Structure 1
């Protein structure tokens, strides 16, 4: 909590969401000389079902914040299908495979070091006027290990909603958009599953395995650990991780058959999220809360960190933030939407062969994502 009086507000900025994007936003706000309070209903080190690969640009952005989480070097990306593959080495040097828990721990420590305190609680209300925003927060209950205290109301000049795909801030601010419609039917949603395996990495590349109905992302995150994320439609993901691995990726499944699973199986989705816009009065949406296409190109962290910087830089100018948001997300939105459309078409099976036949084009796309 800031040292300012309650009448002046509890903070200049309340950041809702203590994931990497929220912590980055809090650190940028502190660097701008603002008093910050981060609110999240979750406690401890946070995990998430994601690919866990920091491409070179994302790694540089994390390091620029003063954090340097441990992991495994990533030298490039490999698209793979039975009998075919296309590899590209990052031109700008390696990225890093980093456990989501390691990334969160490093950023959380750094945020605490720069004076961005964390309050545990669930946001249940949001009201704003011309000079600030009031955020109602319900502290953890006794059942959650808390003290069951009464709800508190925080007042801040600005609120940054960095609370992910299922953003409460987006809903409370009236920024949720209606689902896309294609051919009169809701757009098909996609889901992700992630599990780790105790096995020495067999490559320094992020492997993206393509099957008829799903993708598998294999990311080395330590000398004895790899993460495997599976993406597909609800019907595909609903068969379960093990069955999906065996049926869609038999070669990968055979490689991991003797490996011991590490930790819990996590899921995420639906991945597609839209917002009507990124600002409402003194509220800004940042990261997945602001809109998300898919995890297909693996850019979530890089794009989210860029949004966090832009949101703070343009805190008092909604139009400027909207323009900056569109600029920093343009490549992600264009490339991911295009690849997703291709992957959802009858020509899906041509993706890896096309990449292997046109390595210059495949490499250019990878470099665009990695910068």
Structure 2
């Protein structure tokens, strides 16, 4: 085959779909059966919605008008300028992508990658030969580690926890609540369902972390939980490179800073397209340059926000500053909402 994709999450399935539409013979190996769930904020930025639509994938969900920051009495709103985002259950997104991939004639096999070898003509994965391998096997990618591309990081480890609540959304914005040591992300995903994800470097239970957000707890009072708490982390993962010969890392496997800006799915979709272009162009190494370009804005903004959030006075001032400077907050949200790699427009007071 031309391409083997290891990992059947959104990054892997999008890669397979791009490959199939480019005329490649492609298969996906995924060890988990059926529809796959994951701890995720579940908010798709407008750029991600557009990228999915270009693939013919339209997952049902809840339209999102923008982002709202909340800290005590302070709040700041910024609407998306390029159309709505969408709150989508992770299982719904996975099912829609999987259906599109199967309809494109891609084989999805329940298999685990154990050994990867390669030569100048291709890769050999557990005895199966392919022209290239895309590793889309997640945050803690075993393939990244086996290739010696893992760069361990232990400073300020953050984790995410998510639970759904059976209640009608009270807003058409993604609400981000800020507390001293954590953020809570509220994403409507259906007319009767809201997802609440907590990001923190602290230890403790989901309910223990939620106690830091009394205003949000009041909103959720009396609502029944709709499923278990799911966790993910440590979120920060670094790779020394995104390519090793004929192996390309896509999605979280390629490296991840934090979920703070909500761009994970948009970045995965953009990387999937770039990886296939590099493969069909006969230059896998070109993907490294393209990955750096596509993720530059995300890495810069996320590092900047995380750096400010670690300093208590700066963290306390974040939401009041966004409230006092709505044009600046709107410019930042506009940058997050654009498709990955799109050029930034100059921001100025008033729009």
- Aligned to 1:201, what secondary structure does the other structure show? coil
Instruction: Kindly indicate whether residue 46 of structure 2 is the aligned counterpart of residue 72 of structure 1.
Output: no
For 1:101 and 1:318, locate their aligned partners in 2 and report how far apart those are by CA, in whole Å. 31
- With structure 1 as the length reference, what TM-score do the two structures score? 0.89
| Runs of 4+ off more than 3 Å | none
Deviation at residue 107 of structure 1 after TM alignment: 0.3
- Structure 1 counterpart of 2:9: 19
- Structure 2 counterpart of 1:278: 242
Instruction: Kindly indicate whether residue 206 of structure 2 is the aligned counterpart of residue 216 of structure 1.
Output: no
In the alignment, which of 18, 22, 37 is matched to residue 27 of structure 2? 37
- Structure 2 counterpart of 1:255: 219
- Aligned to 2:113, what secondary structure does the other structure show? strand
- Structure 2 counterpart of 1:232: 200
Q: Note the alpha carbon deviations across 1:39-72, whole angstroms, 9 max, x for none.
A: 0110110111010001111001111111111101
Contact in 2 for aligned 1:195/1:266 (Cα 8 Å): yes
Deviation at residue 192 of structure 1 after TM alignment: 0.2
In the alignment, which of 129, 133, 142 is matched to residue 119 of structure 2? 129
Instruction: Kindly indicate whether residue 49 of structure 2 is the aligned counterpart of residue 59 of structure 1.
Output: yes
- Structure 1 counterpart of 2:348: none
- Aligned to 2:2, what secondary structure does the other structure show? strand
User: Superposed, which structure 2 residues align to 1:36-115 within 5 Å?
Assistant: 36-115=26-105
Deviation at residue 178 of structure 1 after TM alignment: 3.4
- Aligned to 2:152, what secondary structure does the other structure show? coil
User: Superposed, which structure 2 residues align to 1:74-223 within 5 Å?
Assistant: 74-136=64-126, 153-179=127-153, 186-223=154-191
Count residues with an aligned counterpart: 335
- Aligned to 1:263, what secondary structure does the other structure show? coil
- Aligned to 1:73, what secondary structure does the other structure show? strand
For 1:187 and 1:242, locate their aligned partners in 2 and report how far apart those are by CA, in whole Å. 25
For 1:214 and 1:306, locate their aligned partners in 2 and report how far apart those are by CA, in whole Å. 29
Deviation at residue 261 of structure 1 after TM alignment: 0.1
- Aligned to 1:50, what secondary structure does the other structure show? coil
- Aligned to 1:121, what secondary structure does the other structure show? coil
Instruction: Kindly indicate whether residue 325 of structure 2 is the aligned counterpart of residue 358 of structure 1.
Output: yes
- Structure 2 counterpart of 1:143: none
- With structure 2 as the length reference, what TM-score do the two structures score? 0.94
Deviation at residue 129 of structure 1 after TM alignment: 1.0
Instruction: Kindly indicate whether residue 261 of structure 2 is the aligned counterpart of residue 291 of structure 1.
Output: no
Q: Note the alpha carbon deviations across 1:319-363, whole angstroms, 9 max, x for none.
A: 321111011101100000100100111221111011111111100
Root-mean-square deviation over aligned CA pairs: 0.8
- Aligned to 1:318, what secondary structure does the other structure show? coil
For 2:317 and 2:231, locate their aligned partners in 1 and report how far apart those are by CA, in whole Å. 28
- Structure 2 counterpart of 1:5: none
Q: Note the alpha carbon deviations across 1:69-126, whole angstroms, 9 max, x for none.
A: 1101100000100000000111111111000000000000000001111010211111
- Structure 2 counterpart of 1:321: 287
Contact in 2 for aligned 1:173/1:283 (Cα 8 Å): no
For 1:78 and 1:106, locate their aligned partners in 2 and report how far apart those are by CA, in whole Å. 28
